[in-house]
Amino acid sequence: MKRYEVIAIAKSALPEEDITKIIDRIESIVVKDHGVIAKIDKWGKRRLAYEINKEKEGYYFLFDFAGDGPMVSEIERNFKIDDRILKFITIKKDGAVTREGMDAETAAAEAKKAQPAAEAGSASAEGKIIVPLEKNDADNPRKSFEKESIKKDDQGK
């Protein structure tokens, strides 16, 4: 088994029931072929970078799962024949392929997200001020050239 991520864009005018049906169908394909679903995210309606089939907005959703190649082929086949799907992309990821491993990855990612937020809160609470370091003029060749030309001009006068 390998880890995959599929991002799909459906027509934005679809009712919520149709979006749920699409997601359920993909979920059933993964479960039927003994795959493991890590997460399913509904990103919602967003503006497209360019028009696709005269649509300016689309409904984005993401599937993160582990499975075999034929499972991915079946998911892509379903997306190709479904008129409600505007675009999709499948990406092979590195990562755990078991339920326990995926849960551990998710917990580690959540902890990592929470840690910088906590550090930012503590830094502002302590009133720390961050001052940028001054660069040495010797590091800047243009500045040293300007200084030399000024010295030569002063000596000539």
Q: Are residues 25 and 89 in the same domain?
A: yes
Asked whether residue 153 is domain-assigned, the answer is: no
Residues 31 and 6 in one domain: yes
Asked whether residue 113 falls in the same domain as residue 61, the answer is no
Beta strand 55-67 with 36-52 is: antiparallel
Q: What is the pLDDT of residue 88?
A: 95
Is it the case that residue 152 has pLDDT exceeding 70?
Answer: no
Q: What is the pLDDT of residue 100?
A: 77
Nearest-angstrom CA–CA distance, 3 and 91 = 9
Tell me, yes or no, whether 73 lies in a domain. yes
Specify the pLDDT at position 104: 81
**Shared domain check, 123 and 112:** yes
Contact 39, 95 (CB under 8 A): no
Number of domains in the chain: 2
pLDDT value at 38 more than 80 = yes
Q: Do 18 and 75 belong together in one domain?
A: yes
Q: Say if residue 14 is in the same domain as residue 37.
A: yes
pTM, two decimals, is 0.65
Proportion of the chain above pLDDT 70, given as a percent: 74
Q: HSE of 17 in the Cβ direction (CA atoms, 13 Å)? A: 0
**32 and 72 fall within a common domain:** yes
Q: Which candidate, 6, 126, 109, places its Cα nearest to that of 66?
A: 6
Q: Is the same domain home to 110 and 63? A: no
Q: Give domain status of residue 54, yes or no.
A: yes
Which residue segment(s) compose the domain that 7 sits in?
A: 2-96
Residue 134 located in a structural domain: no
Q: How far apart are CA 32 and CA 155, in angstroms?
A: 87
Instruction: With respect to residue 136, please indicate whether it lies within any of the assigned structural domains.
Output: no
Q: What is the largest distance, in Å, between two alpha-carbon atoms of the chain?
A: 90
Q: Is the pLDDT of residue 35 over 80?
A: yes
Name the DSSP letter for residue 143.
H
Secondary structure percentages of the chain, helix, strand, coil, to 5: 50, 30, 20
